[in-house]
Structure 1
Amino acid sequence: MGRLTEAIKHLLIINILFFVATTIYGDQMYQWFSLWFPKNENFGFWQVVSHMFMHGGFMHIAFNMYALWAFGTPLERMWGRNKFLFFYFSAGLGAALIHTGVNYYYFNEGIDAIVNSGISKSQIIDIVSEGKYSPDWYNLASKSTIDNFLSAYNTPAVGASGAIYGVLVAFGMSYPNSELFIIFLPIPIKAKFFIPVLIAMDLFSGVTGVSIFGQGIAHFAHIGGALFGFIMMWYWKKNQFNKNRWD
């Protein structure tokens, strides 16, 4: 890919600095900068951006930063720095929006099921805000409903993955015949085939709860980033806006 482009370089630096700070300050960083559910007392409006620079471990940041460099570099060269940054953060915000919207659905579904037992909403929120729950709740709704409710409230989202899924979509639409070499497959796969399959796997995991990639993954954030990336690329190409650079 050659030397680092300006936007990619600065995004890498900021992500690495956040990761180093997280290894030093730990829970305090997650409390301040992860994306919490809006009804959680840890939520702050800045988290819709700051969560894009937080990561849950070395492999998490390593994979995300590699993808940012590999797929983002050709896009920045084509679009220019400012346009790439606009696209990147728009996809990340879209990921946060979809992720939070799905969490609102899970939260309200769980609340409605528990309220039917005679407990008020404020009492339920007081209980879960202390990291607690009642085993009796599992008698009021399916296990997945209660699990999703508790996770929506108590589990923050971290990572650049949502924004990077938007970048993946843009790369696939811009360079559809580029051949990608995947670690676990010995043959190259064209971007126009690999990227849709990757998104479909996330959608399957998000809808069914059967995680293909492992636990603790915000599948709907990935889908949100991909969706917003697709919408922007579709609109730009339709209006020939994609040909303009923002340096």
Structure 2
Amino acid sequence: MESLLGAAPVTVVETREDPADPFLFPEEADVVARAVDKRRREFATVRQCARTALAELGVPAVPILPGPKGAPRWPDGIVGSMTHCAGYRAAVVARASAVTSIGIDAEPAAPLSDAGVLALVTDESERAALAGLGFRHPDVPWDRLLFSAKESVYKTWFPLTGRWLGFEDARVHLHPDGTFTADLLVPGPTVAGRELTGFRGNWLIRDGIAVTAIVLPLTPPAPGT
């Protein structure tokens, strides 16, 4: 993730291991009190990543609790995103004075195991594009990358709107150069005086992990630029 976002005004902390006794504030521990051990460790480790990243910005350690829709509630003046999958946890944060919103996602770098999931998260044009990409670059799990990109889109969208965004509400275009774009198919929020119509992001596959990320600048580019 750090190499993916190296030029962005953000702080990244990532890890591939859970500490033996990860710290949680009591309020956080209550959230996962009935969860299985795997879930508790993911929850705790990714928050440790987030607190380490916040400390680099000079922000003291605080509980990072999920909001009503599950999105993390960051300290005032901070935007960020967290992700975890098997063997990987990461958090990216920034000051709201530097970045409008952030969305990151990590997935195993393997094709989706259930064809029904692909039908659920894509439309016909996206599936046609995936077929073409798969023909030209068969070594890349494009369906998994598209799923991950839509997760990053949602994580970027939600802090701006507080509203759900379905898989069918954004059309993702993956590019072999490690970038992607997402066109919103529903009215977007107003950012810097302009209606947001989509997002631009980056993707990377390394050491068996596929990651996608969006950092929305304070002034998003105009549509078509």
With structure 2 as the length reference, what TM-score do the two structures score? 0.26
**Relative contact order, higher structure (CA 8 A, sep 6+):** 1
Q: Whose Rg is larger? A: 1
| More helix by percentage | 1
